[in-house]
């Protein structure tokens, strides 16, 4: 069920407040900041894991411990390559639009206004008073 226009506006306002109050926390929840695994990286990792497994099997057939260790390390490296995503740092991350206060620490007036409006809206609806 889609959100109404009013609910969408409230959600957008709450998101802006989250960015103003704690931008580091807000960035952790953004879906676009998660690094993605490339198909080429996964393929390369799987090939490395299969080659490592092959080396391990050959090491068991021939009594060669060093070849078994090499095969195990190749399997481990291939699996880690396939499962993890590369870390690439972007120099300038996109900053969301700040509120009127201009920053997270000077936001007391903006935060107070926001909270006051939310409390007024809650009271209009009847609040959580069971006697109403």
Domain-by-domain residue ranges, the chain?
Answer: 38-83
User: Which band of pLDDT confidence, cut at 50, 70 and 90, is reported for residue 110?
Assistant: low
- Cβ 41 vs Cβ 77: under 8 Å: no
For 23-71, how does the pLDDT look when each residue is reduced to its tens digit (9 = 90+)? 777 777 765 545 666 888 889 999 999 999 999 999 999 888 999 999 9
- Rounded Cα–Cα distance for residues 85 and 38 (Å): 8
In the block, tokens 């090491």 appear at 59
* Number of helical H runs and strand E runs in the chain: 5, 0
């Amino acid at each position: 069920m889609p959100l109404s226009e009013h609910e969408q506006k409230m959600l957008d306002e709450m998101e802006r407040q989250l960015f103003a109050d704690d931008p580091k926390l807000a960035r952790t929840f953004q879906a676009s900041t998660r690094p993605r695994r490339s198909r080429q990286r996964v393929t390369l990792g799987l090939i490395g894991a299969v080659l490592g497994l092959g080396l391990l099997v050959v090491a068991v057939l021939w009594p060669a411990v060093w070849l078994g260790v090499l095969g195990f390390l190749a399997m481990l490296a291939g699996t880690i390559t396939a499962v993890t995503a590369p870390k690439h740092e972007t120099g300038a991350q996109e900053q969301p639009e700040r509120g009127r206060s201009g920053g997270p620490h000077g936001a007391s007036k903006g935060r107070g206004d926001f909270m006051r409006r939310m409390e007024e809206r809650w009271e209009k609806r009847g609040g959580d008073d069971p006697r109403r």
